């Protein structure tokens, strides 16, 4: 009886795990823009969104400028990679700003 219950539980968990993997494809499966100019524009939009919530990260703008330089030099793969990195930083900066919006200071500072 215990073996049957264990097998049934493992089967159910495996099915749920596989369904979760199917519902949430990895980042590599996501379609990235093929045009580096579009990727740079998306990165700049993410940077501006972070700046709008006063939480732009230090290097995001520098990475975008480096991506633009790489695109002008004809290195589209490098430009694409840098733009993706800058866009990620922009999105993470917005997420960080939202998470820390009402964080406040620790109580021991007011004693």
pLDDT at 26 over 80: no
pLDDT at 17 over 50: yes
H or E, element range at 88: helix 76-99
Task: Answer yes or no: are the C-beta atoms of 27 and 84 closer than 8 Å.
Answer: no
Lowest-confidence segment of 8-12, 31-35, 47-51 by average pLDDT: 8-12
Across 96-109, average pLDDT: 87
Is the pTM higher than 0.95? The answer reads no
| Rounded Cα gap, residues 2 and 4, in angstroms | 5
């Amino acid at each position: 009886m215990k073996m049957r219950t264990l097998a049934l539980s493992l089967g159910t968990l495996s099915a749920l795990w596989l369904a979760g993997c199917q519902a949430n494809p990895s980042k590599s499966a996501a379609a990235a823009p093929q045009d580096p100019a579009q990727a740079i524009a998306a990165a700049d939009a993410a940077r501006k969104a972070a700046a709008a919530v006063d939480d732009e990260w230090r290097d995001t703008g520098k990475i975008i400028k480096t991506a633009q330089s790489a695109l002008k030099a004809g290195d589209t793969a490098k430009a694409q990679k840098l733009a993706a990195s800058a866009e990620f930083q922009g999105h993470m900066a917005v997420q960080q700003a939202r998470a820390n919006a009402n964080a406040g200071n620790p109580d021991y500072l007011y004693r």
